[in-house]
Amino acid sequence: MTVQDDQILDAIEASLTACLRVSKKPAYWDEVLDRAGLSIDRPAAAILMVLDHGPCQFQELVKHLGIEAPSVSRKAHALEDDGLIIRQAASDKRIHRLSLSPQGQAAAKKLKSAKRSIVQAIIADWSIEERRQLIRLLEKLASNMTAQFETKPSNKNNPKE
């Protein structure tokens, strides 16, 4: 690898890190939740966004969120109490399938719309070609990252971050 290759890779990694960092900041989520008109917290919003893709078993939700099971369980119970999600027992009573209630579907739709409006504001001065180029490159990056890491099990039982 050349020095120029290293600089390019460093710039890509730094840009991705910055985007991910901002997307996790409380100020970003305050804006999303304000625009959505919802009085829930970020973990609740994350659960709604996952379940918006379809029902899943509790352990799948835990794995997708990357949060400890007891925390997800508490938040899922609260969302169930608020009427936003539905918990259905499978034939094995220890396994539960979670899905959005009609109110949860409406909340998820508001969240998506709020996030879309933020992106729209951020790229308002971009040309259509710049927008298309970003889509194409992000889809390619996401596809490659998914192929590399999505099905690969972690060899760490309890990673420390």
Q: Which two tokens stand for residue 57?
A: 């078993």
The answer to whether 99 touches 55, Cβ cutoff 8 Å, is: yes
Q: Which two tokens stand for residue 141?
A: 């990056």
pLDDT in tens, 18-48: 999 999 999 999 999 999 999 999 999 999 9
- Which amino acid is located at 64 in the chain? H
Q: Which of 104-113, 125-134, 142-151 has the lowest mean pLDDT?
A: 142-151
CA distances in angstroms from 106 to 7, 84, 122, listed in the order given: 44, 9, 25
CATH number of 3-122: 1.10.10.10
What is the per-residue pLDDT for 160? Answer: 44
- CB hemisphere CA count around 42 (13 angstroms): 11
pLDDT in tens, 87-112: 988 777 778 899 999 999 999 999 99
In the chain, where the domains are located: 3-122
Single pTM value for the model: 0.82
